[in-house]
Amino acid sequence: MLKITSKRQVTFPRHVMERLRLKEGDTFSISETAEGILIKPHRFKIEELAPLKQKVNQNLPLPNLDDVRHSALDSNLRD
């Protein structure tokens, strides 16, 4: 259960933070759906990587984006 404070702040329970590998400073988007409120953590957007395309060796194999997404959740890779 989440509670909104008078300053419009929300505290996530520890088990949720750990399970989703969230950390202080992570950002989220919030939207209304037919089923309720959807809160999504901001990850990277592929289209924002487009300017880097010219800097990558074109002979390298394409990365597995699922592996990249999951590694972003790896707590061992965080500060």
pLDDT given at position 8? 92
pLDDT in tens, the chain (79 residues): 788 999 999 888 999 889 888 888 888 889 999 999 999 888 766 677 777 777 777 788 888 888 877 777 777 766 6
Burial class (CB in 10 A: 0-12, 13-18, 19+), 76: exposed
**What are the backbone angles phi and psi of residue 39, rounded to the nearest 5°?**
-110, 120
pLDDT at 6: 94
Give the model's pLDDT for residue 78.
64
pLDDT of residue 36: 94
For 13, the 3-state DSSP assignment is: coil
Helix or strand run (H / E) with residue 67: helix 65-72
Adjacent-strand bridge partners of 29:
40
Q: What is the pLDDT of residue 7?
A: 94
pLDDT of residue 54: 76
Distance CA 36, CA 17 (A): 21
